[in-house]
Structure 1
């Protein structure tokens, strides 16, 4: 057996083969050669490239971290609205695609819609061909758990939210009555369906708050922070000329936050404010266009978004939902200057000390006015390095995940 010195390998004989467990003292690059590489199935709720919104960002950079750790990933993707990607072949030994179903018949299924539309006999057949561990991305992908249960097999679910809370929040943010009713129905079904997690060997919660929730209900719950594109803190010191709010603007929660900031904060200021993200709706354009200092940047690519974050004087972050972790918070802290946030976005994240927290609109206005005049300095950069490059390290979090899988 050959291996680089970055990893310690413990092997035990099993018939003719060797079952190896990799105890990772992970460095930047770890590779295991020969027939001893561990394999894992990863089931993604969508095609995780391009990595351009929260859920798929976590999945894509998890794939990269597992590859660097010497693990062979067999990727299974449900596809809808996103093209297949050759890029995924660089990080996975095999990539399988399955069509996500749709239609009104799934709305009356006893399973939640996000689960019933991802039922695939083909996926189950593939998983039954071996006994490798399975990492399920979200409750969305767990329909086949009962079909592949085995005392010898590790089944770990990466929870991206407390899903019924997330859908309840979507319901509260939605004005369209049919969609509001759908979100309500989905929240009820998801709460009932959640007990499927008791059949797994582990839950990898994406946030402190989610860890607390799941740990009270299930066994073998671990906090594994979000995987993300940032290997190190890289911030421009000095001064910028605008405030930035960014996110997926097709999501009702983000629409609500953007509109709230326009109407209740930046409409009362004359400081330049940019709203950037995917698919901004007419309501956002309408609210922004009557204010000359407010600009909307629609559908920026990754490079443009990173440039906007880096050059902003301040990143403004607001959410009305406490579930999961907002990857835009990590992007802002790793690459942006001052971060002004509401409490909900940093509660139970361990990251509040790196932000300035506004508890109401008046405090947002005051903090924008104050920070417009303050340079971002080296000491503030170092404070972020000390926390983020330790707690939010992809390498260290891959180690946590692999201890659950092997």
Structure 2
């Protein structure tokens, strides 16, 4: 018997240049390898990307204009497709959850995977339905506004526990993130620059890059490369003020891999605990020294493999010390040990059990 699954995503999970894309893409790939026929539904903007790379893992792919995701009328085409059968449904984030008000949930398994919603906060404040849902996640008194019969899963154990403690919901779970092959390929020795990378079209990544430029690398001459998709005017202008900073816009996957490998320090601070930073995973698998803050490793097993600073001054001190220190074999062995432990976690098996029993 063929098992089917609908996945609704607010954007196309490609290219693999953000935690969002990586997690969804490897979820799709892992489920495909388990024999699940994926029906992917995603929203696109005017410059929308429609990659063929997903075709081999999906039974069908359906795209919709991004303007319909928050429409009061919803998306009739999407809801009709999903309501034409009773396949399980995986919803990626609160930004898509409004659509559930129009989808039949009778005897249908529905899982909502929670993620960082900072890009949608302004919309949430002006949308009564979504606002109720958002308040429900953080306000015990309004928890009835969020459908309690769905299963809500988090990629961060602390966030799952926080949500559980503020609601009466029973189906709140931790699900490890889906990531690519976890073979450590880091090489010992010296790199030639510091690197911050990420999808710079996300406000959270923009804020991190701007913070690094203005608070950490503003008065130290250690070379910093910032690389990512669609950097805004503010980052571009700010980076141009410093001779030891270089901004690389829209690098290819191969170019990004080379940057991570060649950097002596991958510096990846985070200002959100709502999900593990998969770009940190990428850096630990392929790069040399990794520097972050406490939020960057919250709810993960990576603390021992990273150099952690509590504030800008601490990060400056760590960077200045590490930049002259070779990356050594014992640090690679530590990472291999950590990832051997993580490899024992099988999120696809857990997800399959929730979806199909």
Which of the numbers 70, 76, 83 marks the counterpart of 1:128?
A: 83
- Measured against aligned partners, the alpha-carbon deviations of 1:306-350 in whole angstroms (never above 9, x if no partner) come to 111111111111222332222222211222111111112222223
1: CA distance, partners of 2:70 / 2:158? 23
SS in 1 for 2:236: helix
Matched, 1:141 2:84: no
SS in 1 for 2:177: coil
Any unmatched runs of 5+ in structure 2? 138-142
Matched, 1:213 2:156: no
Contact in 1 for aligned 2:133/2:146 (Cα 8 Å): no
1: CA distance, partners of 2:306 / 2:354? 32
Which of the numbers 143, 153, 160 marks the counterpart of 1:204?
A: 153
SS in 2 for 1:362: helix
SS in 2 for 1:153: coil
Q: How does 1:265-280 map to 2 (within 5 A)?
A: 265-280=216-231
Distance 1:69 1:250, change over 3 A: same
Q: Which residue of 2 aligns with 1:11?
A: none
SS in 2 for 1:87: coil
2: CA distance, partners of 1:184 / 1:94? 34
Q: Which residue of 2 aligns with 1:22?
A: none
SS in 1 for 2:199: coil
Q: Which residue of 1 aligns with 2:140?
A: none
Contact in 1 for aligned 2:239/2:247 (Cα 8 Å): yes
Matched, 1:336 2:287: yes
Tell me by how many angstroms 1:227 deviates: 1.9
Q: Which residue of 2 aligns with 1:316?
A: 267
Which of the numbers 15, 32, 37 marks the counterpart of 1:67?
A: 32
Distance 1:201 1:256, change over 3 A: closer
Which of the numbers 21, 44, 50 marks the counterpart of 1:79?
A: 44
Q: Which residue of 2 aligns with 1:399?
A: 349
Contact in 1 for aligned 2:159/2:273 (Cα 8 Å): no
Q: Which residue of 2 aligns with 1:16?
A: none
Q: Which residue of 1 aligns with 2:57?
A: 91
Tell me by how many angstroms 1:276 deviates: 1.0
Any unmatched runs of 5+ in structure 1? 1-35, 103-113, 172-180
2: CA distance, partners of 1:188 / 1:315? 37
Tell me by how many angstroms 1:392 deviates: 6.0
Tell me by how many angstroms 1:48 deviates: 1.9
Contact in 2 for aligned 1:197/1:203 (Cα 8 Å): no
Distance 1:183 1:295, change over 3 A: farther
Q: Which residue of 1 aligns with 2:113?
A: 158
Q: Which residue of 2 aligns with 1:373?
A: 324
Contact in 2 for aligned 1:236/1:311 (Cα 8 Å): no
Tell me by how many angstroms 1:150 deviates: 4.3
1: CA distance, partners of 2:347 / 2:325? 34
Q: How does 1:225-264 map to 2 (within 5 A)?
A: 225-264=176-215
Distance 1:188 1:84, change over 3 A: same
Tell me by how many angstroms 1:229 deviates: 3.2
Tell me by how many angstroms 1:118 deviates: 8.8
SS in 2 for 1:74: strand
Distance 1:370 1:282, change over 3 A: same
Pick the structure with greater CA Rg. Answer: 1
Matched, 1:285 2:236: yes
